[in-house]
Amino acid sequence: DIQMTQSPSSLSASVGDRVTITCRASQGISNYLAWYQQKPGKVPKLLIYAASTLQSGVPSRFSGSGSGTDFTLTISSLQPEDVATYYCQKYNSALHTFGPGTKVDIK
């Protein structure tokens, strides 16, 4: 089975900072990669699918890139409302495995 890893597991950054989260698949998954945001006490929300396509209504400060095994989620200018845990998920095959998550907070 393909394993998903994320780094870092947590980060603290200042408002306005550029933040980058990495997701790695143990085998190639083409661009079948999604990113989700889960704010404390809330349901997860789809941010990006197909590695780089922004879901409708998601602010343009969020972007995704990558293909194959290495992917990144970038927040171009961190805002207070972006405090959340971010998860990647592969969906290239039957098993839709999530990464372990990256917790983002404000310094």
Q: Which residues bind another protein (CB under 8 A)?
A: 1, 32, 34, 36, 38, 43-46, 49-50, 55, 85, 87, 89, 91-101
In terms of CB distance, is 13 or 32 closer to another protein?
32
CA 51/CA 68 separation, integer angstroms: 10
Q: Please report how close the Cβ of residue 75 comes to another protein at its closest, in angstroms.
A: 19
DSSP for 3-67 reads -EEEE-SEEEE-TT--EEEEEEESS--TT-EEEEEE-TTS--EEEEETTTEEPTT--TTEEEEEE
In terms of CB distance, is 22 or 55 closer to another protein?
55
In terms of CB distance, is 3 or 77 closer to another protein?
3
